[in-house]
Chains A and B, each alone.
Chain A
Amino acid sequence: MRAPGLFSDGYVEADGFRIRYLEAGDGAPLVHLHGAGGPRLTPAHDLLSRHFRVVLFEMPGFGQSPENLRTTSMPELASTMAQAIGNLGLDTFNLMGTSFGGKTALWLALQAPERVRALVLEAPAAIRQEGAASPAGSPEEIALRLYAHPERLGAILLPDAATRAKTQPLVQRLRGPDRDADLEGRLSGLATPTLVLFGTLDRVIAPAMGRIYKETMPNCHLVFVYDAAHAISTDRPEAFADVVADFLDRHEAFVISRTPTVIHP
């Protein structure tokens, strides 16, 4: 029994890496692949762990893990993570990817479509506006750009300089071009039920990128989260977790409202 909201960590071996994960909750498995800043628990994880067995991985080279000089491409990272998930005993699962991890999740789903029940992409970085400048400024400024409501975060957690120095070359190596023709070409054949979410105030990736997933993928749904920036699940965790849980529960039938409107019986 894994209590919701109480995340405990563990390790799993995969592909020669020792990979840390955080886990809470019971129910259908929901695997989360983090963004370029590394794994970070948000209130949305707590909310989702009331419905799902939430497993947040620390991908090799991120967070507390040692520097990863070995992984050379996003498909390779996806393959490593697919093994890690399998070694936890999860044959089929829901898969959520945030920003950078959204691209990892897409590659994983392309490699093992039969294992992924549904995909959730939070502000995915797999398709980016061409020619847009990379985030510039101090680490604090770059971090602040992620949020519309930093007050909900308490303090902004900045990865320390050593972690940034360790992670940045890996991110640069794996993120790929703004428009990845190989990936986009494959997406048209990916029938996995997919939910793409963008905050209306995203200043890292233009929310208009969302429509390209919708246009490309045969079973894709686009939702704008009002008044959220790139870090949707921190800015508006309740709104985020609500629509994600509903989508994972009902897939495309999530468009049918179940909200009662009776005022008094």
Chain B
Amino acid sequence: MKVSFFETVRYRAPQALPSEWPVPSGAYDRDAGAEAYRGMIERLEYVEELGFDWVSVSEHHYSPRILSPAPMLSAAFIAARLKKITIALLGPIVPQSNPVRVAEELAMLDTLAQGRLVVGLLRGTTNEYLTYDLNPAEARERTDEGMELILKAWTEPQPFGWQGRHFQYRTVSIWPRPLQQPHPPTYALGTSREAGEFAARHHLGYGVSYGPFEVMAKATRYYREQCARYGWEPAPEQIVYRANMVLAETDDEAHATLRAQPNQAPFAMRAGVRDAFMKLDARNIAGEARAPIVSGALPTTFVGSPDTIVEQVRRCRDVVGAGVIDLSLHPPGSAELEPLMRSLELFGKKVLPRIRGM
């Protein structure tokens, strides 16, 4: 089992912030922002020392919750400061990006990081449709086409034009190309049938997040079936499962910590917008329709003492088939660093050595 630390760049607000997304930019505190980025590097040095395989970063906008609207910058900064750990960029929100630019930046990043890059490509969370005015009805198609174009830009040696549905370029020829060949290990992220099929067709890895093991297993099973249809079998580390983990010395303490967390969506939108998205944002798990995640806290699927967590990780491997777990060790919804550092230490000393060989 490989282990990844999900770096969420927590911002400790000096005063209470409105909970609605987008969070007013005027409420931003510059000193708190500077501290968040400083803290990130200190924390990640410790994460590297503990022996984590990856550190992952993601793209979120207009919120203090994950202070990383430009994950390429986060990844480049981390790559410059840390020498060994693999940087997992999970991932650029493809439908709202210029896919050629994404291909260029990732190739550059892979080269700057001396081949320590792993990439996840995804459609993005529902709220992000508002960030750059993306039509939810087009998001899936733009994601699929954008991912295909990124792969083509990485691998096609001659300048080429792209006559797409949503993207058009008359000449593409990126420099640098990725250091890793043919390209960095790449995952299509998301539970949808489309993501699973795309990953299988292009021999990519696959990643799911947060949901209960049995539910995520539907998606990873579908992915494996598609891989078989295309005549190949993914390696264990080609399935990533991202999750919240609340770890404490005892099960009781961990559950008490989890109970104390507010049941609030990470990017809570006002009711009228949320309700409109319930109708407009079509999501599915391996083809089975599911509602977009616009209300309520994300589930926490790893909770307990080190012994309990080790067993949960084993179940995750057996049920989901994951060979990489990407963990948010913050108590969900909390920006406090003290509990994070405690669970990080506990994880590094009492869990990591025991799941390594799984």
Contacts and interface: CB of A to CB of B under 8 A. Distances in A.
Interface of A: 197, 200, 210-211, 214-215, 221-227, 236, 239-240, 242-243, 254-257, 259
A242 B159 contact: no
B145 interface: yes
B279 interface: no
Contacts of B162: 223-224, 226
A226 B163 contact: yes
Interface in B305-352: none
Given A254-B170, A255-B170, A226 B164 contact: yes
Contacts of A223: 160-163, 170
Contact of A222 (B149, B161, B165): B161
Contacts of A257: 170
A229 to B, nearest CB: 14
Interface in B144-173: 145, 148-149, 152, 156-165, 167-168, 170-171
A242 B163 contact: yes
A82 B280 CA distance: 56
Nearest to B166: A226
A243 B161 CA distance: 10
Contacts of A221: 161, 171
A211 B156 contact: yes
Contacts of A256: 170
Interface string B37-55: 0000000000000000000
A210 B158 CA distance: 9
A211 B161 contact: no
Contact of A225 (B157, B163, B170): B163
Contacts of A211: 156-158, 160
Contacts of B157: 211
A211 B155 CA distance: 12
B158 A214 contact: yes
Contacts of A227: 145, 164-165
Contact of B163 (A210, A214, A239): A239
Given A254-B170, A255-B170, A255-B171, A224 B158 contact: no
Nearest to B149: A226
Chain A to chain B: the 8 pairs with minimum beta-carbon distance, closest first: A223-B161, A226-B164, A255-B170, A211-B158, A214-B158, A225-B163, A239-B163, A222-B160
A227 B159 CA distance: 19
A47 B164 CA distance: 18
B145 A224 contact: no
* Residue of B156, B157, B163 with highest tally of chain A CB at under 10 A: B163
A242 B145 CA distance: 19
A221 B170 CA distance: 9
A197 B165 CA distance: 15
29 contacts: A200-B152, A210-B158, A210-B160, A211-B156, A211-B157, A211-B158, A211-B160, A214-B160, A222-B159, A222-B160, A222-B161, A223-B161, A223-B163, A223-B170, A224-B160, A224-B162, A224-B163, A225-B163, A226-B148, A226-B164, A227-B164, A239-B164, A240-B163, A242-B163, A243-B163, A254-B170, A255-B161, A256-B170, A259-B168
